[in-house]
Amino acid sequence: PKARSKPKSKAPADCVRVRGAREHNLKDVDVDIPRDALVVFTGVSGSGKSSLAFGTLFAEAQRRYLDSISPYARRLIDQAGVPQVDSIEGLPPAVALQQARGTPTARSSVGSLTTISNSLRMLYSRAGDYPRGQEIIYADGFSPNTPAGACPSCHGLGRIYDATEATMVPDRSLTIRERAVAAWPGAWHGQNQRDILTTLGIDVDVPWSKLPKKTRDWILFTDEQPVVPVYPGFDVAEVQRALKRKTEPAYMGTFTGARRHVLHTFANTQSAQQKKRAARYLVGVDCPECHGKRLRREALSVTFAGFDIAEFSQQPLDALATLLAPAAAGRTHAAAHPEQALAAQRIAQDLLARIAVLQDLGLGHLALARATPTLSQGELQRLRLGTQIRSQLFGVVYVMDEPSAGLHPADAQALLRALDQLKAAGNSLFVVEHEIDVIRHADWIVDVGPAAGQHGGQVLYSGVPEGLQRIEASATRRYLFAGHAPIARHGRTPSAWLQLRGIHRHNVQGLDVDIPLGVFTTVSGVSGSGKSSLVSQALVELLTAHFGRERDADEDTPIDPLERGVEAALDGRIEGGLDAVRRLVRVDQKPIGRTPRSNLATYTGLFDHVRKLFAATPAAKRRGYDAGRFSFNVAKGRCSTCEGEGFVSVELLFMPSVYAPCPACHGRRYNAKTLEVTLRDRTIADVLAMTVDEAALFFADDTAVARPLQMLLEVGLGYLRLGQPATEFSGGEAQRIKLASELQRAQRAGTVYVLDEPTTGLHPSDVDTLMRQLQALVDAGSTVIVVEHDMRVAAASDWIIDMGPGAGDAGGQVVVAGTPETVARHRGSRTAPFLAEAMS
Ligand code: ADP
Ligand code: ADP
Ligand code: ZN
Ligand code: ZN
């Protein structure tokens, strides 16, 4: 029998009617959702909000759209899986302002994403100050992405990649024989180069640093490729004798300088492995021609308000608004050029209006040149939102995932105004949110629950906000309608202080700040005030430098080597308190893997023990199956079609690729022989299909497996399946998995935990759970430092460092630091009033 969840308020006739939605954990959901309204989807993390809003509504809208333009796309989508739903009626075309989970952000900048850069180029072309005698440049000529604009020396990249002595010779105390030149190939080729150098009279047995500079430079940087006789194994004197006697050499060898080898390999190799190896020896340096500005000299000679377009794009939007104001008011450009004045005024007015929307959304600290991958998810989404407000689209539904993320409560009103504007223009807004102010502002609430995973997936309530008050089962109700107790306070006193001195990073300039140890600290402040620069970057990098490499969950995620060296300069030191710290751990919301090969069981390490248990069964022993046989990463035991992934990936044009179940093993990952072995009647695939709850019962007597399972239960993840691919975890789930792995290690005092906005994606009730765990770490003798906007978290802290007073250049200072009481009373703090309210 079908357990239909009944809509609790009557939706207007003009609504989206969903029938039988079963995507992920949704339990055959029927729900009517009004159009032309702000609809907020609420519920605990993992309850199924995203599965409904994104996985069903948005996915279906996108499918219909693609279907209407291409039968080919249709076929691919059918293959990849249509959303599991019987029917949806009345669904308008949809725009998602949040990128799908796990897809890397495209290479773009704030300027290109908002298209403000286009208008700016127009402004420079039509209304810029040209040097006397220079011809007008078309707007195109101000773009580094066109041949007309790109600096010819770096092709518009702004950087050139080169190998240096420091990158190619990491250890100067080694001799050439000891492979001082790490950039050369290994094995025979490396030995070949060594023998050639000996023939050329170079001693390969002195430390690299003792060789004359001229010799070192020649070895590394020459483009000459001399061909010389090679006598393997001879030293310099022996080679000289052999040459004199005209002894027949073993062969003729061609020398290749190390940099030439690196650049050639990087440019020409077909092997990703070799390319990666070559890239290790490359660093990016600013292009000497354009100094990193990416444009031709002529384009850079045109100015507006005294800046070339590259400098202009480096200014925060707040500053641009000031610079554009005179032109917008028609106060620039002498009467001699009336048409220029008019152009300047029109374009400047348009730019100002668009910038104002972004400023309103708390983004005034961003510069147009800022690369989008360096933005937080919240900033990125608000940027898209601000761009849409001026897009004049109507009749679409915007689907958003927590637009309040990263936003200080002081800026929340502007967000609500922006949402109202989009609605007033004739659009529908479907928003997944946890922020109480946004939920209160909704026209309609769809509350999903009651709990997570298989314990959720039902619509508990669909209707106007007030009606939720009557819904007993709703976790949201308790937080929405006052009277909920604040998170427990601890009031601890610091055991020591980390004394940070002279910190420089972005807008943090020469800051001295003391961070307490042995307590729970919240770093607050408006978006762009410098919280992340100080904590997630400066503090983390300084501690990392002290301890060596930080323990990071993403250790094996390859970073693009060409991205190295672009980090902003860090200056500063930790003067005291380091003796009290033993290690640093960051717990972030970054995905814990990019392919379905990584999953909960492998990430937490419990799968190793499970495989041993299978290998120890009589059946496995009889067949000679070892633990490796039960790994889907090893050829002998896994399905050969999907190579153990359980999924095959389907590439879609213009869209992220999607994964479809393997047609051979139907997602079970293993071959038939492996699945013949059972442990207490379960195959290894059955185990991967268990939830943590089920597995905890099944493995109750196997301590090595039971312990990590217990930790996962404690962080509230009992509903996840062991084999659930890491690509499916939400940011909040990824964070809790990392936290569970951390809790599972023997509790060690003296750890500093750093978390940047840990409450993102978490329902207030999830936040309560998270806080209990973090406070337990402090109780066990560690330090927790969080960057946070959630005032309930701030109120429950032992110490608060409030950054500001404003964003960008107007921030970067500590406004006030102290106990919540002290900060709440501070007059200059924008956080104070909100904190005071949360504490009352
Ligand atoms: P919410 O948005 O409320 O946090 P989700 O809709 O993201 O919840 O997730 C609901 C459930 O579906 C969770 O148990 C989650 O682990 C699971 N889930 C999420 N994405 C996928 C997926 N791609 N495949 C299978 N299960 C998924
Ligand atoms: P918060 O964490 O308080 O939101 P951030 O530390 O992210 O603030 O930003 C502080 C200032 O530094 C802002 O003006 C921001 O634009 C700038 N900033 C942050 N990251 C970068 C970066 N990668 N490149 C250039 N500027 C940055
Ligand atoms: Zn250049
Ligand atoms: Zn398969």
* pLDDT digit string, tens, across residues 569-609: 578 999 999 999 999 988 887 778 766 678 899 988 899 99
Write the pLDDT tens digit of every residue in 731-755: 788 888 988 888 777 567 899 999 9
CA of residue 297 to ligand 3 center, whole Å: 9
Q: Are strands 159-163 and 799-804 parallel, antiparallel or unpaired?
A: unpaired
Superfamily of domain 496-591+733-839: P-loop containing nucleotide triphosphate hydrolases (3.40.50.300)
Ligand 1 pocket member 719 (CB < 6 A): yes
Could you check whether the bond before residue 663 is cis, i.e. omega within 30 degrees of 0? no
Residue 568: per-residue pLDDT: 54
Q: Pick one of 3.40.50.300, 3.60.150.10, 3.40.50.10320, 3.30.1330.60 as the CATH number of 15-105+371-480.
A: 3.40.50.300
**How many Cα atoms are found within 13 Å in the side-chain-facing hemisphere of 253?**
22
Nearest CA to ligand 1 atom 23: 728
530 lines ligand 1 (CB under 6 A): no
pLDDT at residue 835 greater than cutoff 70: yes
Rounded to an integer, what distance in angstroms lies between the CA atom of residue 517 and that of residue 495?
6
- If pLDDT is split at 50, 70 and 90, which confidence band does 117 have? very high
Give the confidence band of 334 by pLDDT, cuts at 50, 70, 90.
low
CA 307 to ligand 3 centroid distance, Å: 18
Q: Which pLDDT band holds residue 268 (cuts at 50, 70, 90)?
A: confident
The predicted pLDDT at position 376 comes to 77
Token pair recorded at residue 142:
């101000």
Q: Assess whether the region 15-105+371-480 and the region 496-591+733-839 belong to the same CATH fold.
A: yes
| 150 DSSP 8-state letter | B
Closest Cα partner for 252 from 226, 281, 214?
226
**Residue 450 near ligand 1, beta carbon < 6 Å:** no
Q: Are 220 and 169 in contact (CB under 8 A)?
A: yes
Q: Sorting pLDDT into bands at 50, 70 and 90, what band is 554?
A: very low
3-class DSSP string for 185-219: CCHHHHHHHHHHHHHCCCCCCCEHHHCCHHHHHHH
The closest ligand to the CA of 156 turns out to be 3
Q: What is the ipTM of this complex?
A: 0.95
State the maximum Cα–Cα separation within the chain, in Å, rounded to a whole number: 103
Task: Report the distance separating Cα 683 and Cα 677, nearest Å.
Answer: 6
Q: What angle do CA 442, 443, 449 make, to 5 degrees?
A: 65
Q: Can you point out the beta strands (E) in 305-378?
A: 307-308
pLDDT tens-digit series, residues 26-70:
999 999 999 999 999 999 988 999 999 999 999 888 888 777 766
Q: Could you check whether the bond before residue 92 is cis, i.e. omega within 30 degrees of 0?
A: no
Lowest mean pLDDT among 36-50, 322-336, 341-355: 322-336
Three-state SS at 575: strand
Tell me what the mean pLDDT of segment 778-798 comes to.
95
Fold of 600-728: ABC transporter ATPase like fold (1.20.1580)
Q: Is 89 a residue whose pLDDT tops 50?
A: yes
The band of 21, judged by pLDDT with boundaries at 50, 70 and 90, is very high
d(CA 88, CA 91): 7
From ligand 1's centre to the CA of 65, what distance in Å? 24
Tens digits of residue pLDDT in 229-259: 999 989 999 999 999 999 999 999 999 999 9
**CATH superfamily, domain at 111-151+296-360:** ABC transporter ATPase  like domain (1.20.1580.10)
* Ligand 1 contact, 54 CB (< 6 A): no
Taking the centre of ligand 1 as the mean of its atom positions, its distance from the CA of residue 24, in whole angstroms, is 6
Give the global pTM: 0.81
pLDDT value at residue 81: 61
* Separation CA 80–CA 97 (nearest Å): 22
Domains of the chain by residue range: 15-105+371-480, 111-151+296-360, 162-286, 496-591+733-839, 600-728
Q: Calculate how far, in angstroms, residue 495's C-alpha sits from the geometric centre of ligand 3.
A: 52
Sequence-separated (6 or more) residues with CB below 8 Å from residue 331: none
Radius of gyration over every alpha carbon of the chain, rounded to an integer in angstroms: 31
Backbone φ and ψ for 178, nearest 5 degrees, come out as -85, 15
Poorest-confidence range of 154-158, 300-304, 350-354, 429-433?
154-158
The matching CATH number, chosen from 3.40.50.150, 3.10.20.30, 1.10.8.280, 3.40.50.2300, for 162-286 is 1.10.8.280
pLDDT bucket at 483, cuts 50 / 70 / 90:
low
At residue 332, the pLDDT reads 73
Q: Pseudo-torsion of CA 127, 130, 132, 135, nearest 10°? A: -90
Mean pLDDT of the chain: 88
Cα 632 to ligand 1 centroid, rounded to whole Å:
23
Asked if residues 568 and 530 have their Cβ atoms less than 8 Å apart, the reply is: no
Bridge partner residues of 303 (DSSP): 129, 308
Give the Å distance between the CA of 507 and the centre of ligand 2.
Answer: 7
CB 328 within 8 A of CB 188: no
Provide the residue type at 76 as one letter. L
Question: Which of 41, 82, 690, 730 for a ligand 1 pocket mutation test, highest count of atoms within 8 Å of Cβ?
Answer: 730
Query: What pLDDT score was predicted for residue 650?
Result: 66
Among 506, 567, 814, residue to substitute to test ligand 2 (most atoms within 8 Å of Cβ): 506
Decide: 257 in ligand 1 pocket, CB within 6 A: no
- Measured in angstroms, how far is the CA atom of residue 45 from the centroid of ligand 1? 9
d(CA 674, CA 468) in angstroms, rounded, equals: 51
Give the mean pLDDT of 135-153: 93
Q: What is the pLDDT of residue 119?
A: 94
Rounded Cα–Cα distance for residues 415 and 392 (Å): 18
Q: Which of 581, 689, 675 is nearest to 625 (CA)?
A: 675
Query: Which residues' Cβ are closer than 6 Å to ligand 2?
Result: 365-366, 370, 374, 506-507, 525, 527-533, 568, 807-808
Tell the burial category of 227 from Cβ atoms under 10 Å away from its Cβ (0-12, 13-18, 19+): exposed
Q: What is the DSSP letter of 785?
A: E
- Distance between CA 812 and CA 525 in Å, rounded? 10
Number of the ligand closest to the Cα of 668: 4
716 lines ligand 1 (CB under 6 A): no
Q: What ranges in 245-307 are assigned the alpha helix state H?
A: 258-268, 272-279, 297-300
**β-bridge pairing 303-304 and 307-308:** antiparallel
Instruction: Judge whether 755 and 789 are in contact, CB under 8 Å.
Output: no
Protein residue with its CA nearest to atom 14 in ligand 1: 453
Q: How far is the CA of 151 from the centre of ligand 2 (A)?
A: 27
Cα separation of 684 and 672, whole Å? 11
Q: Which ligand is nearest to the CA of 737?
A: 1
> What is the predicted pLDDT for the residue at 75?
64
pLDDT bracket for residue 199 (50, 70, 90): very high
Q: Is residue 3 pLDDT above 50, yes or no?
A: no
